[in-house]
A = this chain, B = another copy of it.
């Protein structure tokens, strides 16, 4: 999504050729019109797939997931909650996720009543890097007896194993911007044309 790549070039901040901060439009301040267009684009990429429900994780996935749900015609969204400790409660699906960014483990949970069985689920998140968060959400969907139809993210770092891990496990991944490297603290994007050939 060229508009997004341009916005990342303009407003993103790369720290130590490693961390991309997009606080100006996605993770702290939100640009509502851009969010809406990103939701429309993710909905378009999955227009060939029946989706019953969107699953995301707090905090920064929520606005994107809502935008996708509206573009898909008002399907329900449920966001997993992050907690520090593994507190397994009977009425929740629970899994443990390791955050490489924060270097700590957290618990992701969704109430059973908001994750029914036999549904087609689209997982939405802001970033895809290690794939740990997406794999955690996939496990919650599996626990519920539903099927992950795909993963849609705003920004992926293709130099980290997220996409490869998910695709090898048989999952479809769509990203609005794919960063293959950081050079001199600038993001280098893989065009979607190239990405699809690899």
Contacts and interface: CB of A to CB of B under 8 A. Distances in A.
Interface in A79-118: 79, 81, 110-111, 113-114
Contacts of A65: 30
Contact of A32 (B24, B33, B66): B66
Contacts of A77: 29-30, 32
Nearest to A115: B29
Contacts of A59: 58-59, 62, 79
Copies of this chain, whole number: 2
Contacts of A66: 30, 32, 35, 63, 66-67
Contacts of A135: none
A64 to B, nearest CB: 10
A113 to B, nearest CB: 8
- Of the four ranges (under 10, 10 to 19, 20 to 34, 35 or more), the interface on chain A belongs to 20 to 34
Nearest to A79: B28
A119 to B, nearest CB: 13
A31 interface: yes
A3 interface: no
10 contacts: A23-B111, A28-B111, A28-B114, A30-B78, A30-B79, A32-B66, A32-B69, A59-B59, A59-B79, A66-B66
A30 B78 CA distance: 6
Contacts of A76: 29-32
Contacts of A129: none
Interface of A: 23-24, 28-33, 35-36, 58-59, 62-63, 65-67, 69-70, 74-79, 81, 110-111, 113-114
Nearest to A76: B29
Nearest to A33: B74
Nearest to A75: B32
Contacts of A31: 74, 76
